[in-house]
Structure 1
Amino acid sequence: MRRVALALAAAASAVALPAAASAADITGVWATGTEGGRVEIYRCGKALCGRIVDASRLRANPDLRDVRNSDAKLRQRKLKGLVVLNGFTGGPREWKGGPVYDPETGDGAPKGQLKLLPNGKLELKGCVAFFCRTKIWSRAG
């Protein structure tokens, strides 16, 4: 009886591991590598989204606005909590979606791609037509 229980426990843990290595792997807070930025990737319905949760400039002034936005109507939005990734679906290692917004430049891309790299880092690519920009993010610790 004990062997059966051990076998069942081993089988259950083997089944649980692949499930844990799904889209949930990229949810959480990521360091953007620029200006001490941190973006939280979270579930938004059946997709994944990302919002700004911290940056060195935000620690100095939590009320910072999206002043670099190319759309003058959006320049009064607060940076803290601003959604910069929207509607990413796929997995378990690559997700596609968009739009992607970069508050450092005020530019956005209608399409983006997230890719979980073998080293645990996250590659973010935003593209407008044939022009793409890539950034590598690390898990925030």
Structure 2
Amino acid sequence: MRKTFTTLLLALPLALAGVSAAQADTASAEGRWRQIDPDTQRAKSIVEISRSGNGTLHGRIVELINPSRPDPTCDKCSDDRKDQPITGMEIIRGMRADGANKWNGGTILKPDEGKVYKSKMELIEGGAKLQVSGCIAFICKSQVWERL
């Protein structure tokens, strides 16, 4: 009985650490996200968001789901991503924290158009979803991505 009690006491901090880590994951945009097309409601790609050394967030497409052609490249891009493979491409750059669960000041690339938009992101639904917006002037579009 005493041995079981001691084992439970030792396991408690580990269990609490696991709960804290799970909660921390939902309070950050870091991780893998399923990009959902707002028109078709179908998944288009998997994007992995990570933190740079300077604290900004950036995101790469790690998988295209049902691409329109095999191994597509960003032929419409006009920056350093021109003619580069879309899989592995950094599409989110320079997102800075702007309060709790919000980021802005960065850009997002729409590879099929080759256009770069000013962007902002916000965790919603307890961190299970990420609302991603891209704007040119006062015209904005947003998508809701699902956490994997």
Same topology, TM > 0.5: yes
Q: TM-score range by the shorter chain?
A: 0.7 to 0.9
Is 1:50 equivalent to 2:53 in the alignment?
no
Match among 131, 137, 140 for residue 145 of structure 2 = 137
Gaps of 5+ in 1: none
| SS of corresponding position for 2:44 | coil
Letter in 1 for 2:51: R
| SS of corresponding position for 1:32 | strand
Report how far residue 74 of structure 1 moved: 4.5
8 A Cα contact 2:133 2:140, kept in partner? yes
Gaps of 5+ in 2: 38-42
Distance 2:125 2:84 in 1: 36
Distance 1:104 1:82 in 2: 12
Q: Deviations along 1:31-63, whole A, 9 cap, x unmatched?
A: 1113631111011121110011111218x623x
Distance 2:96 2:120 in 1: 9
Alignment-derived partner of residue 108 in structure 2: 100
TM-score under structure 2 length normalisation: 0.71
8 A Cα contact 2:27 2:101, kept in partner? no
Distance 1:37 1:18 in 2: 26
Letter in 2 for 1:66: C
Change in 2 beyond 3 A, CA 1:76/1:25 = same
Report how far residue 97 of structure 1 moved: 2.6
TM-score under structure 1 length normalisation: 0.74
Report how far residue 105 of structure 1 moved: 2.1
Change in 2 beyond 3 A, CA 1:135/1:117 = same
Tell me the matched-pair count: 135
Alignment-derived partner of residue 134 in structure 2: 126
Change in 2 beyond 3 A, CA 1:22/1:29 = closer
Change in 2 beyond 3 A, CA 1:57/1:25 = same
